[in-house]
C-alpha cells in the first residue's frame, strides 16, 4: 500500500480548500428541517460526478446462482420502500483535530437527513440467490480516480449477513424526486445507521466474492487508527452525536453569534447509529441541564431536542451532549483518530449576549 499523506498542523492548505469547496456541508440552520432540502444536504464526492446516460445498467453477479442485469426503469417497477435516513460522513469533525489528516476538513456540518426511495437490496440479492461461498458483497460506483497512487473506482463491501438486512436500499429517488447527479444518479446504495461511506453512489455493480474485499476504500481507508502503520478498526455505525442551530445572528466573517439578552429558544438534532437518543444535555457557562428530546419518530432519522436558555449579557459558550439507549455518550473533547474519523466531541458555540 503506498504512503499516506503527511499530517497537517495549522493553516488550511489550498488542497483542503478545494476539497471543502467541492464537498460542502449542511448549513447548521438547516437542522431546523426534519428532512434536509436536497440542495442543502451535505455532499461528499471523492472523484468526479460521473455522467449518467439513459442506458445505465445495474449488474448483480459474482458468487450468485442467477446473475442478472437491469435498467433503471425495470428497477423502478419493483416493490419500493421509502426510508428517512440521517447520514453523516465518517470524517465529520476532522478539521477540529490537530494534527489533522489531509482530506475534506469538515468542522461539524457533514450530516443531513433525506427520504430515500428504492428497492430493498435484500430483494435483489434474493433474486440473484447468493451462494454459500459468498464471503463479501461488493458495491461498485462508477466514479474513478487515484488515491495514494492507486487507481480505483469508489467501491465498498458489506458482509452477506449485513447486506441481507431488510433496511438497505438501492435508491433512485431522494425526497420524492429523482436522485440529483451529485447524490448518485441514477442509483445509489443507502445503508441506514452506518457512516456515509457505505452508501455507494452511482451504483452500477453488485458482486458477491469469496474473500473479504480488499479495495482501498474498504480495506485501507475508513479505519479508526491511533497511529500510522496500524490495521485499525473499520468505521461502521455512526457514533452518538448532536448539534444545535446556532442561536441569534452571525457576524459575517467570524460566524460568531450575537444574541439579545432574554429567554432564547435553543434546539437541534441528535442521532446515533447504535440506538435511539434518550438524553441531550445543554451546556451554558459550565452548567449542564437536560433538554427535551422528541421520541424517535422515524427509526433511522435524527431526533429533535429543545431547551430554553436565559441569556444574560456577556460572553458565553454553549454546547450540547447526547446519550443513546445503548449508554453511549458524546465525549467532551474530540476523540483522537489519525484520519479524523468519528469525531463526536461536543459542539461548542461562542455567543455574545447584548443587553
Ligand X SMILES: Nc1nc2c(c(=O)[nH]1)N[C@H]1C(S)=C(S)[C@@H](COP(=O)(O)O)O[C@H]1N2
Least Å from the CB of residue 139 to ligand X: 9
Choose, by CB under 6 A, the member of 116, 154, 172, 213 that binds ligand X: 154
Q: What is the largest CA-CA distance in the chain?
A: 72
Binding residues for ligand X restricted to 181-200, rule: CB under 6 A = 183, 196-197, 199-200
- For residue 100, the partner it binds in Mo ion, ligand X, none, with Cβ less than 5 to 8 A by kind, is none
Residue 343 and residue 334 in contact, taking contact as beta carbons nearer than 8 Å:
yes
By CB under 5 A, the count of residues binding Mo ion is 4
Nearest Cα residue to 166 out of 208, 125, 112, 213: 125
Least Cβ distance, residue 14 to Mo ion (angstroms): 21
Do 91 and 28 meet the contact criterion of CB atoms below 8 Å apart?
A: no
List of long-range contacts for 247-254, beta carbons under 8 Å, 24+ apart: 247/309, 247/318, 247/349, 247/351, 248/351
In this structure, are strands 347-354 and 257-260 parallel, antiparallel, or unpaired? parallel
Tell me what percent of the chain is helix, strand and coil, each rounded to the nearest 5. 15, 40, 45
CB of 163 to ligand X, least distance (A): 16
The residue from 101, 202, 282, 341 that contacts ligand X (CB under 6 A) is: 202
Candidate list 28, 72, 83, 89; residue touching ligand X; CB under 6 A: 89
Q: Are strands 233-234 and 241-244 parallel, antiparallel or unpaired?
A: unpaired
Q: Is 170 in the site for ligand X (CB under 6 A)?
A: no
DSSP 8-class letter at 42? -
Using only C-alpha atoms, what is the Rg of the chain?
Answer: 21
Q: Which of 25, 102, 105, 141 binds ligand X (CB under 6 A)?
A: 141
Minimum Å gap between C-beta 355 and Mo ion is 43
Q: How far is the CB of 239 from Mo ion (least distance, A)?
A: 13
Q: What does the binding site for Mo ion look like in residue numbers (CB under 5 A)?
A: 44, 89, 196-197
State the residues that interact with ligand X by CB under 6 A: 41-46, 87, 89, 141, 143, 154, 183, 196-197, 199-202
Amino acid at each position: 500500500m503506498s504512503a499516506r499523506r503527511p499530517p497537517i498542523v495549522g493553516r488550511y492548505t489550498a488542497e483542503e480548500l478545494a476539497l471543502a469547496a467541492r464537498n460542502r456541508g449542511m448549513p447548521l440552520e438547516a437542522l431546523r428541517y426534519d428532512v434536509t432540502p436536497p440542495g442543502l444536504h451535505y455532499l461528499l464526492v471523492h472523484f468526479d460526478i460521473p455522467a449518467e446516460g439513459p442506458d445505465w445498467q445495474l449488474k448483480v453477479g459474482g458468487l450468485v446462482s442467477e446473475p442478472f442485469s437491469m435498467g433503471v426503469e425495470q428497477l423502478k417497477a419493483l416493490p419500493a420502500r421509502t426510508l428517512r435516513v440521517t447520514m453523516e460522513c465518517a470524517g465529520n469533525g476532522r478539521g477540529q483535530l490537530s494534527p489533522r489528516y489531509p482530506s475534506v476538513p469538515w468542522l461539524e456540518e457533514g450530516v443531513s437527513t433525506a427520504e430515500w426511495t428504492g428497492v430493498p437490496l435484500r430483494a435483489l440479492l434474493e433474486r440473484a440467490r447468493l451462494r454459500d461461498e459468498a464471503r463479501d458483497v461488493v458495491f461498485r460506483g462508477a466514479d474513478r480516480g487515484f488515491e495514494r497512487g492507486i487507481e480505483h473506482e469508489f467501491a465498498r463491501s458489506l458482509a452477506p449477513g449485513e447486506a441481507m438486512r431488510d433496511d438497505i436500499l438501492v435508491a433512485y429517488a431522494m425526497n420524492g424526486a429523482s436522485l440529483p447527479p451529485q447524490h448518485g444518479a441514477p442509483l445509489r446504495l443507502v445503508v441506514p445507521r452506518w457512516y456515509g461511506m457505505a452508501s455507494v453512489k452511482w451504483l452500477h455493480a453488485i458482486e458477491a466474492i469469496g474473500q473479504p474485499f480488499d479495495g482501498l476504500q474498504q480495506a485501507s481507508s475508513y479505519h479508526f487508527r491511533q497511529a500510522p502503520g496500524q490495521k485499525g478498526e473499520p468505521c461502521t455505525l455512526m457514533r452518538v452525536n448532536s448539534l444545535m442551530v446556532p442561536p441569534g445572528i452571525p457576524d459575517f466573517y467570524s460566524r460568531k453569534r450575537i444574541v439579545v439578552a432574554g429567554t432564547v429558544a435553543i434546539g437541534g438534532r441528535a442521532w446515533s447509529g447504535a440506538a435511539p437518543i434518550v438524553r441531550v444535555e445543554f451546556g451554558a457557562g459550565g452548567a449542564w441541564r437536560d433538554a427535551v428530546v422528541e421520541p424517535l419518530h422515524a427509526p433511522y432519522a435524527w431526533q429533535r431536542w429543545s431547551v430554553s436558555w436565559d441569556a444574560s449579557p456577556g460572553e458565553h459558550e454553549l454546547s450540547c451532549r447526547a446519550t443513546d439507549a445503548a449508554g453511549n455518550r458524546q465525549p467532551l473533547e474530540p476523540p483522537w483518530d489519525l484520519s479524523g474519523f468519528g469525531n463526536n466531541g461536543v459542539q461548542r458555540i461562542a455567543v455574545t449576549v447584548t443587553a
